[in-house]
Amino acid sequence: MSDEKKMKQKRHGRLPPNSSPITHHSSLLNRLDATFARLRQAGEKALIAYIMAGDPGLAETEQLVVALEQAGADIIELGVPFSDPIADGPVIQQAAERALRSGTSLRQILASVASLRRRTQIPIVLMVYYNSIHAMGLDSFCKEAQAAGVDGLIVPDMPPDEAGLLKGPAAEGGLDLIFLLAPTSTAARRNYVAKESQGFLYYVSITGITGAKIQNMAEVGKNVAKIRKATSTPVAVGFGVSTPEDAGKVAAMADGVIVGSAIVKQIAAHQQQSDMVSSVAAFVGSLKGAIRQASSQQHASA
């Protein structure tokens, strides 16, 4: 049986008893799944914390990942700095500029992930624009990402119907391809993206760029409910979640809450200070506290 077939069967719990497990691939493949399963069993929702790799430097990024996990983050989304980030608002654009100025490259980010894997097994997802992957070569990138310990990829400028070339190398490396779904999507589009997304589905709560505010929480809840009818893959909501109050409201309707710009703002505000890591961790702790409270209230009323 090929490794790829084993991985697929392992993912769906169908690996034959006398078939040897693929330890490295299967552990990578299942980190995201295991996290959502653990949280579901505990009646909790995931906090997915976004930070820009290399902002203000990769040493600080590694410190932040460890501290954010300790503060309650369940999954880390690591942004790969890019000079023309179409989906990102000014806060994350400025973080990308700071990271690029400090000389951060994709290969250095993968080396940092490999270094982190000696200290933490928190799922790590890269948010990376397609040009960066293409420049390294799809096969090389996926092999190096898998070897480093990356669990999944969010490629914001690559919808699932254009992801054909990446699907094979990503599957070979046990990397989940996580797709974005816009609030303006048709029912057919919603069903298609729900079927294609792995690990979790990234529901974009607003039309526009990161950092804007969610105007209509009820509408977000309705759309998440529609997505859930189309897939059993966890649904995480991002864009527009900036306060613990926002995080609690989103946690009541989704499987995961993605917070990016608000965390990156905290990094920018404290980057010249010795307490930067602890200040950012304290903010993330307040987000997780609100998510836990919302989850327990939902659990109690169920």
Q: Are strands 180-181 and 201-204 parallel, antiparallel or unpaired?
A: parallel
User: Which residues 6+ apart lie within 8 Å of 213 measured at CB?
Assistant: 206, 240, 242
Is 77 catalytic? The answer is yes
Is residue 154 within 8 A of residue 128, CB to CB? The reply is yes
Task: Name the catalytic one among 88, 144, 196, 246.
Answer: 88
Is 144 catalytic? The answer is no
Strand order of the β-sheet with 180-181 is: 176-178, 152-154, 124-127, 75-79, 46-52, 256-259, 235-238, 201-204, 180-181
Could you give the CA distance from residue 176 to residue 199 in angstroms, rounded to a whole number?
Answer: 6
Task: Name the catalytic one among 60, 77, 151, 176.
Answer: 77
Going along the chain, which residue ranges are E strands?
Answer: 46-52, 75-79, 124-127, 152-154, 176-178, 180-181, 201-204, 235-238, 256-259
Phi, psi (rounded to 5 degrees) for 271:
-65, -25
The residues assigned a catalytic role are 77, 88
